[in-house]
Structure 1
């Protein structure tokens, strides 16, 4: 017998409509906030509006979150944890070429940022996110970026770089992957799979991988992702 499965907010996970089977009240709040923050703006959205959209009283919302900042922090933290899990698995998978593992990470990360009904990655750009309240999000995102750096260091082009150039190259590869946030905002109908694959290809070129190797690394990267499903 099939039972309903719960969906959580990932990088980003697909959000179900409030009231759908399988969502806890806390998850309904996150689903409502994800829709309202991305479509109407964080500043313009009140906790009362979120509660109404989630189908509960405002007082009930405060049983799960102490305010709007806490809701935003939970959404942001949820967007990086899934990618960090993938990244750590790929870093540990030393039997595969690091270039293929880097392609797989860039593809997986970009696909998650492109996926789901709401562009949660756009919330990274909010000025409010610089506050101390979001330290956990920044810490997890920094750990994810570190995994990018570890994979890049293990590649043949990366091994030839001095530490300063390697840090810059890591910033560029990581920034390129997250740039799908802006592309999705400008063109929300862009096919996520095509964008993720093109982003991963471009990231390897930025990393210094020659064009002639891309087809093989793309195939190997897809196998790594399929093995992790």
Structure 2
């Protein structure tokens, strides 16, 4: 028998990705929450999926809600950090478009390529509880940045003032597409391109893509398949 740390017996060798038992618990919970539902998943089931005792799970998380809160927060935090950095750049016609394109591409890539489709948990009734307010606040801030970038683009182009909110909704629609098995390797980039087409920037799209990729290479870490997407 191996151990997950002092006083934390493990029933078997680790079988899940993660540098720590805490990471493995999050991975198991993500699989169970998205596969059979939050309400139908017990902490015992999560512990069994990791190969630890239920009591050991409580060394890392005091409640199932705490696990869900960390998982939900993780779906937003990386994209929010990237969006905050991108918001600091100047806004001529190409760079304003590139900033919105980059945020859509980066955020969409996180939702499409994460190990589990945790976005399906966004609309759980439980997600409105007080414990999840940090997640809700972060998601609201991310949506606000989308709106700001959309308005900024509208000031230097013929784009609609509501383009940023439309972009946010399009990105989150990837969650349902993924749930339906309709996600492809270029879904995030197609979504970002679609936002630019809605802005009336189809002719400028090659330049926007190039500038967007530059922003992502400087400020983000996206999957190789996205970083090397076609520019044509």
Superimposed CA distance per residue, residues 21-46 of structure 1 (whole angstroms, 9 cap, x where no aligned partner)? 75212111101101111112212110
How many Å apart are 1:131 and its aligned residue? 1.7
Which residue of structure 1 aligns with residue 40 of structure 2? 44
SS at match of 1:184: helix
The 10-residue stretch of structure 1 (210-219 or 72-81) with the greater mean CA deviation from structure 2:
210-219
How many Å apart are 1:204 and its aligned residue? 2.4
Which residue of structure 2 aligns with residue 63 of structure 1? 59
Taking CA–CA contacts closer than 8 Å with sequence separation of 6 or more, which of the two structures ends up with the larger relative contact order?
1
TM-score, normalised to structure 1's length? 0.81
How many Å apart are 1:69 and its aligned residue? 1.1
Which residue of structure 1 aligns with residue 218 of structure 2? 227
Give the alignment partner of residue 121 of structure 1, picking from 98, 119, 122. Answer: 119
Matched, 1:81 2:73: no
Which residue of structure 2 aligns with residue 102 of structure 1? 100
Change (3 A) 1:119 1:18: farther
Which residue of structure 2 aligns with residue 132 of structure 1? 130
| Separation in 2, partners of 1:176, 1:21 | 30
How many Å apart are 1:169 and its aligned residue? 3.4
TM-score, normalised to structure 2's length? 0.81
How many Å apart are 1:20 and its aligned residue? 4.9
Larger Rg: 2
SS at match of 2:204: helix
SS at match of 1:44: coil
How many Å apart are 1:223 and its aligned residue? 1.8
Which residue of structure 1 aligns with residue 201 of structure 2? 210
| Separation in 2, partners of 1:195, 1:21 | 25
How many Å apart are 1:54 and its aligned residue? 1.4
Contact 2:101 2:196 in 1 (8 A): yes
| Separation in 2, partners of 1:116, 1:34 | 11
Which residue of structure 2 aligns with residue 31 of structure 1? 27
Matched, 1:111 2:109: yes
Which residue of structure 1 aligns with residue 139 of structure 2? 141
| Separation in 2, partners of 1:18, 1:81 | 27
RMSD (CA atoms): 2.2
Change (3 A) 1:21 1:35: closer
Contact 1:100 1:217 in 2 (8 A): yes
Which residue of structure 1 aligns with residue 193 of structure 2? 201
| Separation in 2, partners of 1:227, 1:129 | 33
| Separation in 2, partners of 1:169, 1:87 | 16
| Separation in 1, partners of 2:167, 2:18 | 37
How many Å apart are 1:178 and its aligned residue? 1.1
Change (3 A) 1:118 1:22: closer
Change (3 A) 1:104 1:18: farther
Gaps of 5+ in 2: 1-12, 222-232
The alignment of Structure 1 onto Structure 2 pairs a total of residues equal to: 205
Gaps of 5+ in 1: 1-16
Give the alignment partner of residue 183 of structure 1, picking from 177, 180, 195. Answer: 177
